[in-house]
A = this chain, B = another copy of it.
């Protein structure tokens, strides 16, 4: 299991599942590659190849069975059980992110949030317990959390990241726009809205 898949395919698989989760209750039990492609601005070939790579066989007439598809994507890209996620920095962005993940139907499970601000600790946010950042080491270790979301202010980014890594975090989603120097076995993903905006600005046509 867990064959070597192209990163782009993994990304799209996650997107297929998110889209189809909304479809699975209503109307059809099956979907065609070209329908799925049209919904996501992809090509039908791309969709078929992705599904081929995970070994899903569609019906030549009816298309792909939606619940089989969702199930197999899960078997392919999810770990055994739901994965625990920690979040550091309960500001506007942190709150939005926690709320969003909680509302989404995903196996990513935010189980702890950390902040330095005493007013924010010992509360719950969308069901997630908030702790002092000083407790992060212990909690991440005890709960075996391996993924962290970093939404602290830029000044605190480097320091907080190294604390997280010392506690056993293996992957970081970094929103701080600060470059983090992480060892090669750590999976780091940066997201910066400015980059997205500038790309849009470059490619729009009047």
Contact = CB atoms under 8 A, between A and B. Distances in A.
A194 interface: yes
Contacts of A146: 204, 206
A36 to B, nearest CB: 11
A99 interface: yes
Interface residues of A, number: 58
B10 A202 contact: yes
A201 B19 contact: no
Interface in A57-80: 77-79
Interface string A150-173: 000000000000000000001111
Interface stretch (A100-108, A115-123, A127-135): A100-108
A153 B63 CA distance: 32
A94 to B, nearest CB: 8
Contacts of A78: 198, 201
A108 B18 contact: no
Contacts of A79: 201
A179 B19 CA distance: 8
A122 B171 CA distance: 41
29 contacts: A7-B203, A10-B202, A18-B194, A19-B179, A79-B201, A83-B201, A85-B197, A91-B96, A92-B92, A92-B93, A92-B96, A93-B96, A97-B193, A100-B177, A100-B194, A101-B193, A106-B198, A107-B201, A108-B197, A146-B204, A146-B206, A171-B203, A172-B200, A173-B193, A173-B196, A173-B200, A187-B204, A191-B193, A191-B196
Interface of A: 5, 7, 10-11, 14-15, 18-19, 39-41, 77-79, 83, 85, 91-93, 95-97, 99-101, 104, 106-108, 146-147, 149, 170-173, 177, 179, 185, 187-189, 191-206
